[in-house]
Amino acid sequence: MKRIAIDMDEVMADFMPKHLKLFNDDHGESITIDDLQGKKLRELRSDHVEQLANYLRDPSFFRDLDVMPDSQEVIRDLYEHYEIFITTAAMEFPTSFTAKYEWLKDHFSFLNDLNFVFCGDKSIIHADYLIDDNVRHFKRFSGQGILYTAHHNIHETGYPRVDNWQDVRAYFLGS
pTM of the model: 0.95
Q: Which candidate, 119, 156, 162, places its Cα nearest to that of 141?
A: 119
Q: Which CATH architecture has domain 3-14+64-173?
A: 3-Layer(aba) Sandwich (3.40)
Q: Which residues are catalytic, by number?
A: 7, 9
Q: How far apart are CA 134 and CA 159, in angstroms?
A: 11
pLDDT tens string 83-99: 999 999 888 889 999 99
pLDDT tens per residue across span 22-73: 999 999 999 999 999 999 999 889 999 999 999 999 999 999 999 999 999 9
CA angle 159, 92, 157 (to 5 degrees): 15
Residue 32, SS3 per DSSP: coil
* Domain spans of the chain, in order of start: 3-14+64-173, 16-59
DSSP 68: P
Angle at 78 between CA 159 and CA 146, to 5 degrees: 5
